[in-house]
């Protein structure tokens, strides 16, 4: 069974996730740590649980989701894995981060392994299914655990909202289509852990989300 630890990091209150199971292997998803105190918070949790980080995953590569990639690489030797369509988004970060006031940003390493649009990734005794859901960004991936009924959704679907589509590579119609045709196929009781804000469920968003009626 997968346990989930949620952190809220950086000026964007970005949700960073650590997933781990009974083997003590863990996956770090979208590390948003920007300063030393946030880095310490992540390290202290991993040490306190005696976890072994084995994968670094990015749902997408907007700056607030990759601030901590270099720190994770330096600490545990893990290069990020994401869909190759997000590489230009990652490479653009150093060009615009200073304009947004982020001057201490350390450049993320680039992947050695890119994730496909469909398939699975495994750690410990656990498996995550890949769901390709661009629209907020050009090659956004979500990570779904069928066994544990949850989705790490990044910036696709939020509690009562959806990801913004006014950034480079965004496409509103594509985002709505992917939510309805891919995420809404998941069970109603599937818990959605988004890139910002509180968790929700597929069933609640089907009924209540004003963007998807």
Domain range holding 36?
3-212
- Phi first, then psi: give them for residue 28, nearest 5 degrees: -105, 125
String of DSSP letters for 61-95 = --HHHHTTHHHHHHHH-PPEE--GGGHHHHHHHHH
Beta bridge partners of 159: none
Among 164, 205, 208, smallest CA distance to 182 is for 205
For residue 196, give the DSSP letter.
B
Closest CA to 73 of 33, 118, 100: 33
Percent of the chain with pLDDT over 70: 100
Q: What would the pLDDT profile of 133-172 be if each residue is shown by its tens digit?
A: 999 999 999 999 999 999 999 999 999 999 999 988 899 9
Query: How many Cα neighbours within 13 Å face the side chain of 36?
Result: 0
Domains contained in the chain, number = 1
Whole-number Å distance between alpha carbons of 165 and 194: 16
Q: What is the CATH number of the domain that holds 166?
A: 3.60.15.10
Q: How far apart are CA 178 and CA 9, in angstroms?
A: 27
What value does the mean pLDDT of the chain take?
A: 97
**pTM of this structure:** 0.98
């Amino acid at each position: 069974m997968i346990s989930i630890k949620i952190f809220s990091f950086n000026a964007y209150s970005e949700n960073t996730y650590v997933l781990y199971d009974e083997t003590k292997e863990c996956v770090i998803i979208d590390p948003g740590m920007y300063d030393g105190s946030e880095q310490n918070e992540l390290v202290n949790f991993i040490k306190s649980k005696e976890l072994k980080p084995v994968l670094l995953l990015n749902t997408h590569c907007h700056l607030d989701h990759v601030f901590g990639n270099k720190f994770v690489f330096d600490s545990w030797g893990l290069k990020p894995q994401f869909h190759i369509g997000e590489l230009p988004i990652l490479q653009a970060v150093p060009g615009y981060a200073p304009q947004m006031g982020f001057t201490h940003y350390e450049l993320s390493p680039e992947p050695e392994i890119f994730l496909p649009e469909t398939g699975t990734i495994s750690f410990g005794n656990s498996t995550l299914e890949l769901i390709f859901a661009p629209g907020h960004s050009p090659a956004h991936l979500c990570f779904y655990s069928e066994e544990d009924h949850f989705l790490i959704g990044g910036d696709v679907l939020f509690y009562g909202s959806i990801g913004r589509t006014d950034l480079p590579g965004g496409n509103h119609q594509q985002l709505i289509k992917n939510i309805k045709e891919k995420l809404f196929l998941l069970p109603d009781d599937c818990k959605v852990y988004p890139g910002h804000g509180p968790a929700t469920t597929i069933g609640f968003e089907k009924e209540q989300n004003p963007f998807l009626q």
